[in-house]
């Protein structure tokens, strides 16, 4: 038994929440836990916006799906890569900010290290969470709604709240399909690992009463379909170089 | 007291390690904990390579700095965004893989959600960890060394091992400088928050006997200097669209 590892292994996304707000001190605590994660050279290239305005939440719920939970969970956040502070500091000493792929990447990585601690801290306090990639369905609309300045890159939303459901964790690829030693495996080996996983994945879907489509079939269809094709242009419009 | 949150708040990067390898079952357990993190539509767009070959570790230690810990820590990993499986699956059903910024972003985010759980799980087992962004100093050289196929994007290294030092956590920006409610703050407010943090940051450096340069001064200098300017080109060379 190891409480942090047990907590991680017990993770499942929660999509239905009780109608209960989250006390501010819990949010504060989760932010502190998030900030304690590693950050590239301590640059802390992220921020998190809590959206409390019901109209704004309703609008984002529409843009992301619609996904009702975005309007209804105990709290809703948007995690942003954020180099705004860095730009202002550079400009204050009359230097120009050097936007480059590396700086954008650091922002995405820093923000996501923060986010994983942030959500795990909420789970450690008994809440359920769900990442909302749907924020990237229409970044221009999200941006306009939140009036974001240059250097702020909204990445994904987070629903947090008291769970109103208790789903089981979704099975993951076998460890051998994720952890490689010294050499990257060849294509046949990768495909064999994935095929072995499909049976387990279909079983999980059957148990939940969901459409029993194998992981590889779903992923293949998804990989061949372009979605959110304006994501790169949007981040460039906010000053990122990709 | 909340063991997972206490563990997060106690995080500090470890840069000196005892000469002790890590049992494979601990690595396996940390990978499972990492995999339990959220993943966009379950695509699991990442892999992690453990580098055990001493010559390869020595070479990566040179490329990343040199950073001796890369060659000497109990274990060394490179975390990769990975859409190789997705490409192979699409091609198997005669579809072409659609590389786009969104797909690259999902890979970076998925890999980093994995990495934060992975490292926290090691910390929960008593190990110390350090992220090695220096892997991006020369991605072409790392790529050649590991012979990576298209669709695999090395992002950063991870040193893991038994700590041979006990540094204190580095102070972070105040919560008010990270958590915003409904509206993004104006520039003056951001700069005021950062200036208040500088005094605390300098005090921390003084206590460690380090050069007492304020956070804002360091960040400003860093923000104005281009580094790793081939990062975007490298990922494009591996099939990513940015």
Phi/psi of residue A48, nearest 5 degrees: -135, 130
pLDDT digits (tens, 9 = 90+) for B203-227: 999 998 999 999 999 999 888 887 8
Q: Which residue of B has its CA nearest to A116?
A: B113
Chain A residues closer than 8 Å to B5 by CB: 29, 33, 121, 124-125
- State whether residue A47 sits within 8 Å of chain B by CB: yes
Whether A115 shows a pLDDT value over 90: the answer reads yes
pLDDT tens per residue, range A85-105: 999 999 998 888 878 899 999
Which residues in chain B are closer than 8 Å to A158, comparing Cβ atoms?
A: none
Burial of B37 (0-12, 13-18, 19+ CB in 10 A): buried
Strand A179-181 and strand B75-82: the pairing is: unpaired
Compute the count of residue pairs across chains A and B with CB atoms less than 8 Å apart: 344
* Average pLDDT for chain A: 95
Q: Would the CA dihedral through B7, B11, B227, A78 be positive or negative?
A: positive
Average pLDDT, chain B: 95
Across B11-151, where does the E strand assignment appear?
46-50, 75-82, 128-132
**Segment B83-98 mean pLDDT:** 90
d(CA B242, CA B235): 8
Q: What is the average pLDDT across B33-43?
A: 97
Residue B149 sits at the chain A interface (C-beta within 8 Å)? yes
Query: A60 and chain B: CB distance < 8 Å anywhere?
Result: no
Question: Given this model, what pLDDT does residue B225 score?
Answer: 81
ipTM value = 0.98
Please determine, for residue B188, whether its predicted confidence score (pLDDT) is greater than 90: yes
> Is the overall model pTM greater than 0.95, yes or no?
yes
């Amino acid at each position: 038994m190891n409480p942090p590892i047990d907590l991680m292994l017990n993770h499942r996304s929660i999509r239905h929440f009780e109608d209960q707000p989250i006390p501010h001190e819990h949010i504060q605590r989760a932010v502190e836990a998030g900030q304690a994660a590693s950050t590239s050279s301590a640059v802390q290239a992220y921020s998190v916006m809590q959206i409390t305005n019901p109209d704004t939440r309703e609008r984002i719920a529409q843009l992301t799906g619609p996904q009702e939970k975005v309007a209804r969970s105990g709290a809703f956040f948007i995690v942003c890569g954020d180099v705004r502070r860095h730009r202002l500091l550079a400009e204050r000493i009359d230097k120009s900010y050097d936007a480059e792929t590396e700086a954008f990447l650091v922002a995405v990585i820093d923000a996501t290290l923060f986010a994983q601690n942030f959500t795990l801290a909420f789970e450690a306090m008994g809440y359920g969470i769900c990442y909302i990639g749907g924020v990237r369905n229409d970044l221009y609309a999200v941006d306009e709604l939140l009036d974001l300045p240059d250097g702020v890159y909204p990445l994904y939303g987070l629903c947090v709240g008291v769970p109103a459901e208790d789903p089981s964790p979704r099975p993951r690829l076998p460890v051998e399909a994720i952890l490689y030693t010294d050499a990257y495996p060849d294509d046949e080996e990768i495909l064999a690992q994935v095929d072995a996983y499909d049976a387990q994945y279909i079983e999980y879907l059957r148990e939940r009463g969901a459409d029993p489509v194998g992981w590889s079939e779903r992923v293949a269809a998804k990989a061949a379909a372009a979605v959110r094709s304006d994501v790169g242009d949007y981040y460039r419009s906010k000053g990122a170089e990709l």
